[in-house]
Structure 1
Amino acid sequence: MEYNKEYIQGLLFEKITGTISEEDNFIAEQAIEQDAGLREFWETLLVKMKSAKGSSFLSGLDADAAWSKTGPRFNEMSDSFFYRNRRMLYGAAAVLILALPFVWYFSSTTDTTFVVPEQISKQVHLKIENGTAVDLSSDRIVTVGQTHFNANQKELSYTSGDAGPKEWATLVVPAAKDYRISLSDGTQVWLNAASSLRFPVQFGPQQAREVYLSGEAYFEVAKNPEQEFIVHTNGPDIHVHGTSFNVNAYEQGRFAAALVAGSVSATTKHQSIKLKPGQEAILERGNLQTRPFDVQNVLSWRNGTYFFHKQPLSEIATVLSRWFDVKIAWKTPEVAEQTFTGEIDKKLPIEVVIANLQLSSGIKAELKNGTLTFQ
């Protein structure tokens, strides 16, 4: 996954100073976990914070002077993270105004880049919080500490031994892949392409069962009336006791949770709605709403098929990007708004999928050097 460098740097500053919100901290944590280069950068910042040089640098900063120098720049930075969040910055100027010189200082003292190594990013892999990365592209058994991970074809299971609830791992499923995992409580999770799941190796007996999802996944949660199961996303959270549901939370501000069986609640800071089987919760302009959904359309991705009905090509192209690991470009932007009905079979070569789209719609598309261009 790619991250905007300036945006994440701003979040890391807030994280270090303790001023970050819960939502932004989740974004920062996801970025750190999913990007090996960013994680190394974050660890470098922590080391420098504790160093004599870093302490000296921070103690020598003058917030008022920094504001006088950088404040006028906000009007010039119309596309930046700081400009878009200027109200928040003004409200916490005494602390956050140090972000620009702080990030510049630490960025200028490291050669770290935010690129996941190619041999890892293209394979399903598991990241353990002790720094270990486990390639799951082939059948294998891996032991990390007290935990024995068993990767079998397209599924991961494990026994956690004496591992405690503070030990976490992240399953990363890149574009063009999908994968299944059995959690320690028996919960089954199917992850769609370009998704990740952060989970505790062992759920604590006195705590809620909490996991963090980026992307899309289908859950069959093991029933346990004594322990609530919570799925955190970059939008609303899902609260459940034992049920089957699908969550699509690829993009910030876009969210859909479809309930197949049982009972769940979708919850934001200001709103909570309870779903019945056959209903899905969606996020519209920041508000949660419910509507019926078609099970075949929502869950077909698990069988490698994507159904679409009167959907704009821009949304279809996004699925193509995730499923076939290609970049999308537009020579004629208005083409992106054209709507189509049909299906995509993930098992077919992308060239066949493109040909079918062209034959059925009359649009033109070209695949070259990993980029699919529509015109």
Structure 2
Amino acid sequence: MDYEKIRDLSFDELLGMISEEDKSFLQSAIREDLQARNIWEGIQRERSRLLADASESYDQHPVDEVLADLNTGNRLRFVKKAISIAAACLIAIVGSWYLLVHTAQQPLAAVQDTAIHTIRLMTAEGKTIDLSNDSAGIRVGNTVLNNTQHTLSFDASHQNGTGINTLTVPAGKDYHLLLADGTQIQLNAATTISFPFTFPGKTREITINGEAYLQIAAKADQPFIVHLPGNTVNVLGTAFNINTYDAGLVKVALVEGAVKIATGKKDVLLKPGYEITSTHSGITTEAFDADKVLGWRTGVYTFENASLQELAPVILRWFGVTIALDNQRVSSRRFFGIIDRNQPLQAFLHNLERADGIKSRYDQQGVLHFE
């Protein structure tokens, strides 16, 4: 996806200078690609905000007053006010363009510099398939893949092989997977999942590294098993969240049903509403806050008493931007709030500076520095 083109077309649309062909392309892009949608929505929001600011700045020239000038015959004064208001609107639009182009280009460059920036499937046969754009009827052996509405599904009714395929979701994106048995999986950014196209054996087994929300199709005669780094989850219920982002740490939060976690030391049966945390030193179980643990599913990360060091991995995963902390005083401060991946990162940075006085800048390599 050419995000520079998406940005240019968004401004063309804003100014009424877009062709029907380009408008159709833009609408398709923002419907199918998360980053493209973020760019388009960010431009719309910034334009609305700046126009509102311009309007507020010219409150001393209300519409009634301007019309009164026209009615009383003071046409010269009317023209001057109209020109000044129009100029304010133009400044707002141009200012929006400048702000978004010059603040968004740096993190975008960082995203594009990552090793993998497309959703891709590596099949058991070694074939690599780009899933970043909708496509249907992709044949892999006897299996037909359908990649539509940000979801991979497949018809494997004639598939005899049990080879393992690996789906990779890069930083800045998320994705959905519908397995052959009807199990639904939502994958967060920077996550990989390995799975077969069919489950012909006595068990259904997959491997996940990253974060995912699973809704398991019930099949009592064929247990579902999820392999994690150093842990195994035996599914006895339906819906749960898995998080293995941090090395040496695995979290499993149960929403519905029951799961049994094999940690290597002992098996733990988890109840709905509780989360188990497994580390090298042991395991703990406690009730979890659904807004914090599951908020990523709607693009919201809630943090309380968190340092920028703790927020850095989230920003890297969701926006593809690397963080450098240049000020020890800033590094030690704690923050409360949210990060919304549906908005440009610049919105979070703006709120951080306005609320806490924390300034930031991008260097030429696209690294985000807090000062």
Does TM, normalized by the shorter one, top 0.5?
A: yes
Per the alignment, in what secondary structure is the counterpart of residue 255 of structure 1?
strand
CA offset at residue 118 of structure 1? 6.9
Alignment of 1:303-342 (within 5 A): 303-333=298-328, 335-342=330-337
Candidates 149, 154, 160, aligned match of 1:153:
149
CA 1:230/1:338 → structure 2, altered by over 3 Å: closer, same or farther? farther
State the partner residue of 1:302.
297
CA offset at residue 255 of structure 1? 1.6
Contact 1:123 1:136 in 2 (8 A): yes
RMSD of aligned C-alpha atoms? 1.9
1:371 aligns with 2:367: yes
Alignment of 1:222-301 (within 5 A): 222-301=217-296
CA offset at residue 219 of structure 1? 0.3
Identity %: 38
Task: Measure the CA separation in 1 of the matches of 2:351 and 2:345.
Answer: 10
Show structure 1 runs of 5+ residues with no match: 1-116
Contact 2:195 2:207 in 1 (8 A): yes
State the partner residue of 1:136.
131
Task: Measure the CA separation in 2 of the matches of 1:137 and 1:124.
Answer: 5
CA offset at residue 300 of structure 1? 0.9
Task: Measure the CA separation in 1 of the matches of 2:328 and 2:151.
Answer: 40
Contact 1:256 1:282 in 2 (8 A): yes
Task: Measure the CA separation in 2 of the matches of 1:143 and 1:298.
Answer: 37
- The total of aligned residue pairs comes to 258
Higher RCO, Cα 8 Å, sep 6+: 2
1:178 aligns with 2:174: yes
Contact 2:249 2:280 in 1 (8 A): no
Candidates 347, 350, 361, aligned match of 2:345:
350
CA offset at residue 120 of structure 1? 8.1
CA 1:119/1:137 → structure 2, altered by over 3 Å: closer, same or farther? farther
State the partner residue of 2:196.
200
CA offset at residue 284 of structure 1? 4.2
Task: Measure the CA separation in 1 of the matches of 2:145 and 2:256.
Answer: 29
Task: Measure the CA separation in 2 of the matches of 1:330 and 1:148.
Answer: 47
Task: Measure the CA separation in 1 of the matches of 2:344 and 2:300.
Answer: 13
Task: Measure the CA separation in 2 of the matches of 1:356 and 1:302.
Answer: 22
Task: Measure the CA separation in 2 of the matches of 1:158 and 1:292.
Answer: 36
CA offset at residue 285 of structure 1? 4.5
Task: Measure the CA separation in 2 of the matches of 1:198 and 1:306.
Answer: 26
State the partner residue of 1:220.
215
Per the alignment, in what secondary structure is the counterpart of residue 202 of structure 1?
coil
Contact 2:306 2:335 in 1 (8 A): yes
Task: Measure the CA separation in 2 of the matches of 1:357 and 1:194.
Answer: 25
Contact 1:138 1:153 in 2 (8 A): no
TM-score (norm 1): 0.65
Task: Measure the CA separation in 1 of the matches of 2:338 and 2:175.
Answer: 21
Per the alignment, in what secondary structure is the counterpart of residue 256 of structure 1?
strand
State the partner residue of 2:10.
none
Contact 1:224 1:242 in 2 (8 A): no
| Aligned partner letter, 2:311 | I
Per the alignment, in what secondary structure is the counterpart of residue 121 of structure 1?
coil
Task: Measure the CA separation in 2 of the matches of 1:374 and 1:283.
Answer: 32
Task: Measure the CA separation in 2 of the matches of 1:280 and 1:249.
Answer: 13
Deviating 4+ runs (over 4 angstroms): 117-120
CA offset at residue 303 of structure 1? 0.6
CA offset at residue 165 of structure 1? 5.1
| Aligned partner letter, 1:218 | Y
Per the alignment, in what secondary structure is the counterpart of residue 249 of structure 2?
coil
Contact 1:255 1:282 in 2 (8 A): yes
CA offset at residue 183 of structure 1? 0.4
Alignment of 1:62-141 (within 5 A): 121-141=116-136
Per the alignment, in what secondary structure is the counterpart of residue 176 of structure 1?
coil
Task: Measure the CA separation in 2 of the matches of 1:251 and 1:235.
Answer: 12
Task: Measure the CA separation in 2 of the matches of 1:358 and 1:203.
Answer: 52
CA 1:167/1:292 → structure 2, altered by over 3 Å: closer, same or farther? same
Task: Measure the CA separation in 1 of the matches of 2:122 and 2:262.
Answer: 28
CA 1:119/1:367 → structure 2, altered by over 3 Å: closer, same or farther? closer
Task: Measure the CA separation in 1 of the matches of 2:216 and 2:248.
Answer: 25
| Aligned partner letter, 2:274 | Q
TM-score (norm 2): 0.66
Per the alignment, in what secondary structure is the counterpart of residue 217 of structure 1?
strand
CA 1:120/1:341 → structure 2, altered by over 3 Å: closer, same or farther? closer
Contact 1:358 1:364 in 2 (8 A): yes
CA offset at residue 163 of structure 1? 2.0
| Aligned partner letter, 2:307 | P
Task: Measure the CA separation in 1 of the matches of 2:114 and 2:250.
Answer: 31
Contact 2:114 2:320 in 1 (8 A): no
Contact 2:230 2:264 in 1 (8 A): no
Task: Measure the CA separation in 1 of the matches of 2:328 and 2:234.
Answer: 39
